[in-house]
Amino acid sequence: MGMAILKPTVIEFLDLAVHSADFDLSVEQYEIGDSSVLVGRTLKEIGIRERTGATLLTVKRKADAVMSSVHPDYVFQKGDLVVVLGSSESLNKFSAMVSG
């Protein structure tokens, strides 16, 4: 409730994103596999936003904590869990990158 008072635009955006059929935006989680083009490459090299239109929100590596901010020099490894925000189209493009 306090968030709604302090940051009403954030709450309005999230409500629209979650409940509106006209708003094409989703958050998805993917696991980086062996054949992914991401393995061994940096976030900067890959250019996720430029290539797919999706936004990388966070990465979790096995037993490590979820990263609050992913550095451009972060090197992806097999088994990394990534959380991405985007439209259906951009998430489909990202999914293709993850699966190889």
Give the global pTM: 0.80
Q: Encoding tokens for residue 11?
A: 């709450």
99 Ramachandran zone, left/alpha/beta (phi>0; psi -120 to 50): alpha
Which of the four pLDDT bands, split at 50, 70 and 90, describes residue 10? confident
What is the structure's pLDDT at 4? 57
34-90 pLDDT per residue, tens? 899 999 999 999 999 999 999 999 999 988 888 888 999 999 999 999 999 999 999
Where exactly are the structural domains of the chain?
A: 24-99
- How crowded is residue 7: how many other Cβ atoms within 10 Å of its Cβ? 12
What is the structure's pLDDT at 96? 93
What residues are paired with 83 via a beta bridge?
29, 58
Which of the four pLDDT bands, split at 50, 70 and 90, describes residue 7? confident
Residue type, 82: V
Are 95 and 33 contacting, i.e. CB atoms less than 8 angstroms apart? Answer: no
Please compute Rg for the chain using Cα positions: 15
Could you tell me which CATH class the domain 24-99 is placed in?
Answer: alpha beta
